[in-house]
Structure 1
């Protein structure tokens, strides 16, 4: 069995409830987020489990509008998800853990802003998955939890080898999973008047129709936060999933996933292409619009 190296777009699972600052629409957010809050949908009743780096000595600085902080990668992605969905329960699971992740009561969203890399040439069955990743992959495949996966920062198609010949096998394992969403980064939030382009570093959907079907993009406005990468795209979609779940309280993870995918916008994306942008830019306003979802 091939062992893969876990890399954050930068660790016995650590599960902690986390206090998030009071809700304020920050400059890096889509205005649609405030519209959702004004309707009363803030992620209440939903648990977002952020699987990331919470124990390493690596820290970097940024500002999500709550003041300049110097934090670990996981502390940043956890904060971002909680700012988008301020009434959701936010939990932290260190990404170096090896135990299966347990699901909370109600709707669960798993945020994965990391990859698992090894040399190209292995099949998924040859990878030595630990129980943590086995549980994540199983939840995505059987629709037990929404899995929001950062597409990666190598400017290649999801599942393709990097210029160094490395592959994110966690991406490959999630292809075709019913409640997984790959999330790429736009350079800003798009509008019809000023469509957004894919960020130069972002991985893209590629030619695999199964990836295109489950691929979304969102704006990552690093010029406003100092934080760049698809690591900071995935928590936005995690937050959107929680917001959506607070309206459609009996919807399954697969139904929420499909609603986000089916309501994405193409008209706010410059030179839209399914092979680049998948389904388009996630729109929480469009996803919330119907009275019910199927």
Structure 2
């Protein structure tokens, strides 16, 4: 018997505490225990791990993470209505669940634990991408991130060059992490059902970025290229203020190519050239 086996079913918890999903908070509760268990285990074994969870709501995924062996779960919840339900879970798993009330966008998760942690979360769609960008910038503190996004965002994270979904998020995520599509989840699995399919993705931070490049310079080059993704690079990169064709030549990239055709390695090469030009004050 697991520590939480005596807890009531999630539907009863939602009714008991009046936890109707709040659309403004992007809430869609996942109640299927098979699915929550699958999400918890997707990033690898949790035995002894510290796990950060964002937006636990009534605690379905929280229970699954604890039942999968996490030594400590730090759950960050913005909706005060959910705190009593999470307190019940904390009582059922003594000393293993810490609930932090607050907005994950403004909280520094890395100050809440020592060493390294995992992040496992069914992310609210309206803040999912900003949260991912924030975590990528402190990726050295995380061993893995197993996150649920709407499928469109997940596809962008794992997209390959020359695909419609390939873009700024693809390059940044793949430069800093190994990315893996886990599985899709039907809208029917949620309460209330969202209008889109959801996808679970695991990101494993790299010990070093995939190719050498300055992060700020890379972000500038990628932003300029994809802001006008239908144009040839010789036109779209003019926004950088450096001679675009000269930069492309130094990076061994044809000026007639478009942003979606370039690999992560080629964007990093462009970022290095741009950094050199900036250092010379061009």
TM range (shorter): 0.3 to 0.5
Q: Normalization by structure 1: what TM-score?
A: 0.33
Which one has the bigger helix percentage?
Answer: 2
